[in-house]
Structure formats: C-alpha cells, structure tokens
Amino acid sequence: MQRLKSVNPHVAEGRTKELLETVEQAFGVIPNTAKVMANSPAVLGSFLAFSTAMGGAKIREKLHNQVKLTTSETNSCNYCTSILSAVAPSAGLSAADILAGRTGNSEDRRIKAALAFAHDVLENRGKVSDQQIGTVRSAGFDDAEIVEIVASVVLGCFTNFLNNVADTELDVPQAEPVEACSTSACSTGACSVH
C-alpha cells in the first residue's frame, strides 16, 4: 500500500496544477511518481527541469535510460524499473538494451564500460578510483560524458529513493524480475514488462 499520498490532478491548484499539466502534456499521462512528487511543487519542478535538461545530454537518451535502469536495479526500485522498461522503446531501447541496462552487462564495450562506471559511482557513493575513471575514459568517454553518467545515476537515485520511500503504486505493467530474463526471452520483449 502506498505510504505517501498522491496529489489528485483534478483538485490541484496553482503551481502544482501547472506542473502536473506540464507532465501530462509531455507524457500523455501523469504517472503516479509525479503525483507523489507533486506534494512539493519545488520537488516536481526540480525533477522536470533536471529531466528536461538531461534530454540534451551528449550521452544521449538511450544510454541515459540504461544508466537509470542500472541504478534502479541496484536500488531495488520496482516502480522505476517497471516504468523505465515500459517507456524504453520510445527512447530507442530494444529488449536487449533494456536487459543490458538492468544487468549492467552489454555486448557493446563502450556501453558496458559506462554501465560499470555508473555502478561504481553508485556503490562507492561517487568515491571512484583513478583506475575506474581511466577505464571509462579508455572506452571513449570524455569529461562531459562522465559528468552526464554521474548525473544520470543521481537522477535515478532520486526517483528510486522517493518511490521506495512512498512505495508508489504501479501504474504500468510490472517488469519481470531480471533473473527471469534470458537472452531468448529478451529478444521477444518478454523481459520488459508483464
């Protein structure tokens, strides 16, 4: 049962109403996570500004979403993993890309290095070693992209932590447990949601 209230968009007023309308215009719906954030217009406004700004990231939307999937899996955020898996195709992610994000393991050396670095940032609370930075650099990431990977982890942590605290009610199909995903299941999209 959800532990923090969701703001009803039909009775919201002022800045909260404006922000929820912005969410609906952008996504066509107002996800439950936005309704929880709407308890504080400052939080919802900040989330929207951060998310919008990351849309122009050099690492591009696909890797940004894979990093958030890695973060969601590490933080055991069922809500974020489910919603990211559900919207992933619109960000250009295939079922195999979703699985790579969720497991941090990709056939693409560059993506694998970025996801491993994201995991290192998360696990070490940002206190990564020179070797870890060297590894992601040797995979072809420059300082701007490294900053963006860190920002993607931070944005993922924010939504993960809030949804874990709130126990936000799912309004998308629940993602299959990553352990249930196999390469053959992922190729058909079966690992994404059920």
Percent of the chain with pLDDT over 70: 93
Average model confidence (pLDDT) across the chain: 93
Mean predicted confidence (pLDDT) in 67-80: 97
Residue 27 has pLDDT above 90, yes or no: no
Query: Would you place residue 189 in the very low, low, confident or very high pLDDT band (cuts 50, 70, 90)?
Result: very low
Residue 41 has pLDDT above 50, yes or no: yes
Q: Which residues contact 186 (CB under 8 A, 6 or more apart)?
A: 95, 96, 98, 99
Count of other CB atoms within 10 angstroms of residue 78: 17
Residue 190 has pLDDT above 50, yes or no: no
174-to-76, 86, 121, 143, 149 alpha-carbon distances in Å: 13, 9, 27, 35, 26
pLDDT tens-digit map of 132-186: 999 999 999 999 999 999 999 999 999 999 999 999 999 999 999 988 765 444 4
Residue 188 has pLDDT above 60, yes or no: no
Mean predicted confidence (pLDDT) in 95-117: 96
Residue 12 has pLDDT above 80, yes or no: yes
Query: Would you place residue 191 in the very low, low, confident or very high pLDDT band (cuts 50, 70, 90)?
Result: low
Give the closest residue to 102 by CA, choosing from 66, 136, 75: 66
Give the fold, CATH level 3, of 59-187.
Answer: AhpD-like (1.20.1290)
Would you state the pLDDT for residue 187?
Answer: 43
Mean predicted confidence (pLDDT) in 114-142: 98
Percent of the chain with pLDDT over 90: 88
Mean predicted confidence (pLDDT) in 108-126: 97
Would you state the pLDDT for residue 185?
Answer: 47
Domains of the chain by residue range = 1-54, 59-187
Query: Would you place residue 194 in the very low, low, confident or very high pLDDT band (cuts 50, 70, 90)?
Result: very low
